[in-house]
Amino acid sequence: MSVKLNTRQVGDVSVVDVAGRITLGEGSSALRDSLRDLVGKNHKKILLNLGEVSYIDSSGIGELVSGFTTVTNAGGQLKLLNLNKRVKDLLQITKLYTVFDVHDDEAGAVRSFS
Amino acid sequence: MPEHSRSLPETVEQFLDSTLESVDSAEELTVGVAQRAGFDEDDLMKIGLAVRESMVNAVVHGNRYNAHKKVRLSVTSNGSRLTVRIADQGEGFDVENLPDPLAEGNLLRTSGRGIFLIRSFMDEFLIRRLETGGIEVTLVKYPVSK
CB–CB contact B102 A94 (8 Å): yes
pLDDT at B5: 47
Q: Which of B23, B53, B108 sits opposite A58 (nearest CB)?
A: B53
The proportion of chain B whose per-residue pLDDT surpasses 70, expressed as a percent, equals 94
pLDDT at B146: 45
Residue type, B102: L
Query: What proportion of chain A, given as a percentage, has pLDDT over 70?
Result: 99
How much is the pLDDT for B97?
81
pLDDT higher than 50, residue B3 = no
Q: How confident is the model at residue B4 (pLDDT cuts 50, 70, 90)?
A: very low
Residue A73 DSSP class: H
Q: How confident is the model at residue A80, as a pLDDT?
A: 98
Residue-level pLDDT at B145: 57
Region of poorest pLDDT, from A79-83, A108-112, B66-70, B127-131? B127-131
Q: Identify the band that residue B7 occupies on the pLDDT scale cut at 50, 70 and 90.
A: low
pTM score, whole prediction: 0.91
Cross-chain residue pair A24–B102, CB shorter than 8 Å? no
CB contact under 8 A, B49 and A57: yes
Q: Domain A3-112: give its CATH code.
A: 3.30.750.24
**In the 3-class helix/strand/coil scheme, how is chain B assigned residue by residue?**
CCHHHHCCCEEEEEEEECCHHHHHHHHHHHHHHHHHCCCCHHHHHHHHHHHHHHHHHHHHHHCCCCCCCEEEEEEEECCCCEEEEEECCCCCCCHHHCCCCCCHHHCCCCCCCHHHHHHHHCCEEEEEECCCCCEEEEEEECCCCC
Report the range of poorest mean pLDDT among A19-28, B15-24, B101-110.
Answer: A19-28
B28, B110, B111, B117: best to mutate for the A interface, most A CBs within 10 A: B110
Whether the per-residue pLDDT at A1 is higher than 70: the answer is no
Question: Left, alpha or beta for B49 (phi > 0: left; psi -120 to 50: alpha)?
Answer: alpha
Which site among A1, A24, A58 would you substitute to test the B interface, given the most B Cβ atoms closer than 10 Å to its Cβ?
A58
User: Domain B3-141 carries which CATH code?
Assistant: 3.30.565.10
Quote the CA–CA distance of A63 and A71 in Å, as a whole number: 12
Query: Mean pLDDT of all residues in chain B?
Result: 91
**A29 has pLDDT over 60:** yes
- Tell me, what's the pLDDT at A42? 95
Of the partner residues A23, A68, A94, the one whose CB lies closest to the CB of residue B113: A94
Provide the mean pLDDT of chain A: 94
Nearest residue on chain B to A97, judged by CA atoms? B107
Looking at this predicted complex, what is its ipTM? 0.89
Region B116-132 average pLDDT? 95
Side-chain half-sphere exposure of B74, counting CA atoms within 13 A: 9
Residue A18: which H helix or E strand, with range?
strand A13-22
* Partner B contacted by A25 (CB < 8 A): yes
- pLDDT (tens digit, 9 = 90+) per residue, A54-104? 999 999 999 999 999 999 999 999 999 999 999 999 999 999 999 999 999
